[in-house]
Amino acid sequence: MDKKIILGIETSCDETAAAVVDSGTKIISNIVASQASLHATFGGIVPEVASRQHILAISTVINAAMSEAEMKINDLDGIAVTYGPGLAGSLLVGLNAAKGLSFGSSVPLLPVNHLEGHVYATWLNESNKLEEIDFPLLCLIVSGGHTDLALMSAHGQFKLINRTRDDAAGEAFDKAARVLGLGYPGGPEIQKAAEKAKGTEKPFPRPKVKNSNDFSFSGLKTSLIQRAVDKRIYPREDDTCVDSELVNEISFAFQEAVVDTLVDRTLKVASELSVKGIIVSGGVAANSCLRSRIEEKSPLPVVMPKPALCTDNGAMIASAGYFKFKELPLTKWDLDILPGLRIGEQGF
């Protein structure tokens, strides 16, 4: 396909992000305004706070992405934007900003499924093993709101195979961190604590769903809470001093249980589907233990975005927009947000 310059806009959760990407693979600019510190005081995302913050940041973020790329709107071949899944109020801000830009410039609007965006972050790697791997690929999308296994049979062609029945892995990390008195977002905090552990804590059970390859993390979360209660570190008063060695050991045991579950289930499904390779993406794919464990255990090639591109960003949305819309579609002005959109679904 021809060289195409795409602006990607992402506001599905708590990052206001915009990026300019060349031909789906080369980042020209990439601006991410994270709201994490704003939500940290609440221990999690407050939807109304998130959408209001997007309103404040969106114009500045898009302007910064365009000026860093040294481009004007009319230099673009497409404006890709997340329309789902995500928080309704947050999605509305990005979609309306993109519609306004598209309307004012006649640059086509490219609707992108956020989860497919996470997968396409892999195409932004500088040196890419992907060039040596054929479809079909199995994608593990492991993020704050999702734990999905999807079969990718060609560019833009996804089929959901397995998912979590309850909590997502990222959500489990965030909740575990809250119970252990660590910060938000929880995944990086649990990882840091686990790195200091000696591995002395009793392992947690590896969660399984009967007769299914689906995931389930709510039982593991309950085991963690029970362990924290038994060890008298939860519930606690705000100013109570927590035994940091114990927190490190419990974090290690919890991370091991999540990582083993994700890796073993992904490798089982990959073998059942006879895929040619595995993509691991989404915020939890930044976890160093998950990255090394799956590379170690997989008989198939594994590709992952670099850690900084695992969490939400505009570049992955621009890349997905490029690969999905090879023939640029007519702009759909009545496009609505779809907060519950699944991978492989278009919804319109």
Ligand X SMILES: Nc1ncnc2c1ncn2[C@@H]1O[C@H](COP(=O)(O)OP(=O)(O)OP(=O)(O)O)[C@@H](O)[C@H]1O
List of residues contacting ligand X (CB under 6 A): 12-13, 85-86, 114, 118, 143-146, 170, 173-174, 185-188, 191, 282-284, 286-287, 311-312
Smallest gap from residue 281 Cβ to ligand X (A): 8
Identity of the residue, 132 or 195, whose beta carbon is nearer to ligand X in the bound complex: 195
- CA distance linking residue 62 with residue 59, whole number of Å: 5
Stretch that binds Mg ion, among 148-156, 169-177, 249-257, 306-314 (CB under 5 A): 306-314
Cβ partners under 8 Å of residue 323, min gap 6: 24, 120, 123, 155, 156
Residue that has been written with the tokens 């992000």 in this structure: 17
Smallest gap from residue 143 Cβ to Mg ion (A): 5
Stretch that binds Mg ion, among 102-110, 169-177, 253-261, 312-320 (CB under 5 A): 312-320
Closest CA to 255 of 194, 198, 296, 167: 194
Q: Phi-psi category of 70—alpha, beta or left, where left has phi over 0 and alpha has psi -120 to 50?
A: left
Smallest gap from residue 186 Cβ to ligand X (A): 5
Smallest gap from residue 327 Cβ to ligand X (A): 27
Q: Does 312 bind Mg ion (CB under 5 A)?
A: yes
Q: Hey, which residues does 246 pair with through a beta bridge?
A: none
For the purposes of burial, counting CB atoms within 10 Å of the CB of 158, is it exposed (0-12), middle (13-18) or buried (19 or more)?
buried
Let me know the angle formed at the C-alpha of 11 by 142 and 103, rounded to the nearest 5 degrees: 135
**Contact string 97-136 vs Mg ion (x = CB under 5 A):** ----------------------------------------
Determine if the peptide bond prior to 188 is cis (ω within 30°): no
At 148, phi and psi to the nearest 5?
-120, 145
344 binds, among ligand X, Mg ion, none (CB under 5 to 8 A by kind): none
Smallest gap from residue 162 Cβ to ligand X (A): 15
Q: Which of 35, 113, 143, 255 binds Mg ion (CB under 5 A)?
A: 143
Smallest gap from residue 84 Cβ to Mg ion (A): 12
**3-state DSSP helix/strand/coil percent for the chain, to nearest 5?**
45, 20, 35
Identity of the residue, 118 or 324, whose beta carbon is nearer to ligand X in the bound complex: 118
Residues that bind Mg ion (CB under 5 A): 143, 312
